[in-house]
Amino acid sequence: MSPVLTRPATWPRWARFSVIALAVVCVLGATAVVGYRVLRPAESAVEARGPYPDRPAAEPVRYGELTSAPLIVDGRLRVFADARRVWADTSLTSRTEATPFWSIRRWPAEVAGVVAVEGSYEGVALVIVKFSDGVVLAVIPKTGRIAWQDQARASEGETFDGRRTGGATVWRPVGIFTARSNTDGGAVLVVAGGDEVIAYNPWTGKRRWEFTFPEHPGCHDTDWTSETTYIVKDSCAAPATLQIFDVASGTLMNTWIPPGASAGPADAANWYVEPMSCARGHSECGLLKATGGKSVITPKQDYAGVKGTSGGVWRVNSDGAVTPEKWVSGNRTYLQAGLLIENAGDTSGVIWAYDRASGHPEWHSKAGFRLVAVGTIGVYAIDDNLNLVVLHPASGVELSRTDLKKVPDERWVPGLVHVAGRFVAVERLTGGPPEEPDDRYFLGSTPVVLAGV
């Protein structure tokens, strides 16, 4: 039988070449169409499936293990993030991750940071996401719908840095912060990147103020908020300078340099600073730790006689003034009401609470505690046996104890910790250095443990 398609032997050479060229063009065109459909910028959103869940009551139990780090929102939802997607699931106390309640995906942009705004002033809650292309989305947790969207700047090289769990992206994001107005108590969202800062009313998306740093481009990526201020370090000034802005108006209130900071040369003029006593991530931080040098040693190293300085602790007040907290060592120090609460600066693992005004010790715990958070509900610590212990912030009396282990001989090292009222999530690490790949740095395929207190 003859082939269905044959090339007549009498076709001229030009006709044969024309047919071949046409075939090549058709193949390339089809490939381009498929490639565009696959690689084009895309957004997709799946709105909430089912009713908004009730707030469950927490109990001092180990609920389960999760693959991803949950940002607990409104006491009802667990919000997760990976490089391209943000999603929520229910129920809050489920021992594993469930089918998404809602989800939002963007491509090729990556999720750079996630925060939640909650409170009794203007609304219930919002989830706000910043992407690597500067897009800011506000998501209504109850429905998964977009409340508003805006375009900000992103810093050069800004990408998803949450690793396997997404923990750093949802629990300690950079370039997106929350705070409160010092005048009316209203929530303020601050988005920073690419030497630009924008403050929003998070409920409406309206910009409250914005500005761009005119000097030293690329030198303003160390920043955070206190309860009522936005704080940023100009790391290229000589010496480097901390600038403190009123979060409600954007007014520059103060500039600050720690004692001993060098005016040059350039490699010596940038000094060490880190926020401390933060309500969540790098937002609403009550204290800062700084030194005039480029680095600090830990209080334990200082106790052991290692040469160097462990730095000092300061408070940024609502008027922008920076005042020293001379009674503490800066070893995971928290400010709670009139108390300064921190781990001892030695190897004992004792938690101490000092009167902020006098430095008088008010109470101390037993040995063997790692302090992980302090709030109005209590002082949260993990002991040497991997129990989550909550102490009364005013007296140090033990309020609850939750075993974070699934089996008695389980051993791991606590990583990042997220506290939302009576719910706590903890990354479980193997104890290796952060440079290790995720499958060796995190413990197993479900490295996040969720518990109640």
Both tokens of 16, joined, read 């044969």
d(CA 305, CA 403) in angstroms, rounded, equals 35
**Termini Cα distance of the chain:** 81
What SS3 state is found at 303? helix
pLDDT at 325: 96
Neighbours of 82 (CB within 10 A): 18
pLDDT at 17: 60
pLDDT at 16: 59
242-274 as b/e, with b when 16 or more CB fall inside 10 Å?
A: bbbbbbbebeebbebbbeebbeeeeeebbbbbe
Are 353 and 363 in contact, with CB atoms under 8 Å apart?
A: yes
Are 278 and 289 in contact, with CB atoms under 8 Å apart?
A: no
d(CA 138, CA 43) in angstroms, rounded, equals 15
Element (H, E) at 208: strand 207-212
Cα–Cα distances (Å) from 189 to 39, 245, 434, in that order, read 32, 14, 30
Please identify which residue in the block is written with the tokens 């046996």.
385
pLDDT at 5: 43
Which phi and psi (to 5°) does residue 32 adopt?
Answer: -65, -40
What SS3 state is found at 52? coil
Over its length of 453 residues, how does the chain's per-residue pLDDT go in tens digits?
Answer: 444 444 455 556 665 566 566 666 555 655 544 444 444 457 899 999 899 999 999 999 999 999 999 999 999 999 999 999 999 999 999 999 999 999 999 999 999 999 999 875 445 899 999 999 999 999 999 999 999 999 999 998 899 999 999 999 999 999 999 999 999 999 999 999 999 999 999 999 999 999 999 889 999 999 999 999 999 999 999 899 999 999 999 999 999 999 999 887 777 789 999 999 999 999 999 999 999 998 999 888 888 889 988 999 999 999 999 999 999 999 999 999 999 999 998 989 999 999 999 999 999 999 999 999 999 899 999 999 999 999 999 999 999 999 999 999 999 999 999 999 999 999 999 999 999 999 999 999 999 999 999
Partnered with residue 180 across adjacent β-strands are 187
Q: Taking Cα atoms as reference points, which of 269, 180, 270, 189 lies closest to residue 222?
A: 270
Q: Taking Cα atoms as reference points, which of 314, 365, 373 lies closest to residue 344?
A: 365
pTM over 0.85: yes
pLDDT at 300: 85
| 91 upstream amide cis, omega within 30 of 0 | yes
Are 102 and 46 in contact, with CB atoms under 8 Å apart?
A: yes
d(CA 426, CA 390) in angstroms, rounded, equals 15
d(CA 110, CA 263) in angstroms, rounded, equals 38
Ramachandran quadrant class, 332 (left: phi over 0; alpha: psi -120 to 50; beta: rest)? left
